[in-house]
Chain A
Amino acid sequence: ELKVEQNPLFLSMQEGKNYTIYCNYSTTSDRLYWYRQDPGKSLESLFVLLSNGAVKQEGRLMASLDTKARLSTLHITAAVHDLSATYFCAVGGAGTASKLTFGTGTRLQVTL
């Protein structure tokens, strides 16, 4: 059974600081997704990572994937208040791209 763990579960950081969210998964997979969820809202797709060493960047967020370590990271650079949200990673089962297993989420709070 595929298990996905995120840490930390909660992150409070000041504006302007850098931090990394980690996503570990237990079995082989060829795709990993990052989503953002604002309170009371749905999930918004941020990144999809499809190969070992893949790196994607959008604004202050950068995601990477190490399939050998079964680890993905979401790095936040110079955080701003607008980044406050819950971030989820989700892993696709090998050969079953449509079945996603989600992590528990990391609630990010950026303080002024």
Chain B
Amino acid sequence: ETGVTQTPRHLVMGMTNKKSLKCEQHLGHNAMYWYKQSAKKPLELMFVYNFKEQTENNSVPSRFSPECPNSSHLFLHLHTLQPEDSALYLCASSQAGHTDTQYFGPGTRLTVL
């Protein structure tokens, strides 16, 4: 595997379900991110982790719970979601340094029924 991978690629869940999204980066980076992409809205930063420590929580509702066990893996735990949470969830990683360019995974398309 190369780059940034995300699983699952598609997820349909009911409002009472609990599910998790997984992201893995194979780039040796030290920072990882969760973004939400909704139709007709700009990409929204949700969470930032630097060296496994959460450094940014962009006023995200508590029904989204991130976890970063090491600098290669990032999870987003979901529970009691609302239909408006349906979106494409993108994971990214970067290496702190000169350019800090973020590299994105393919995303998980989430539908909440």
A interface with B by C-beta (< 8 Å): 4, 31, 33, 35, 41-45, 48, 50, 88, 90, 92, 97-105
Most chain A beta carbons < 10 A, residue from B33, B43, B90, B98: B43
Provide the bound-state CA to CA distance between A45 and B4, in Å.
13
Determine if B99 is an interface residue (Cβ-Cβ < 8 Å).
yes
Q: Across the interface, do A92 and B100 meet the contact criterion of CB distance under 8 Å? A: yes
Q: Across the interface, do A42 and B107 meet the contact criterion of CB distance under 8 Å? A: yes
Chain B interface residue count, Cβ-Cβ cutoff 8 angstroms: 24
Q: Across the interface, do A42 and B105 meet the contact criterion of CB distance under 8 Å? A: yes
Identify which of A4, A45, A102, A105 contacts B101 (C-beta below 8 A): A45
Chain A nearest Cβ from B50, distance in angstroms: 7
Q: Across the interface, do B42 and A31 meet the contact criterion of CB distance under 8 Å? A: no
Known A98-B31, A104-B42: A43·B99 in contact at CB below 8 Å: no
Q: Find chain B residues with CB under 8 A from A97 CB.
A: 96, 100
Known A4-B42, A105-B42: A100·B90 in contact at CB below 8 Å: no
Determine if B82 is an interface residue (Cβ-Cβ < 8 Å).
no
Identify which of B55, B104, B107 contacts A98 (C-beta below 8 A): B55
Determine if B45 is an interface residue (Cβ-Cβ < 8 Å).
yes
Q: Find chain B residues with CB under 8 A from A33 CB.
A: 101-102
Provide the bound-state CA to CA distance between A62 and B55, in Å.
33
Q: Across the interface, do B48 and A98 meet the contact criterion of CB distance under 8 Å? A: yes
Q: Across the interface, do A88 and B43 meet the contact criterion of CB distance under 8 Å? A: yes
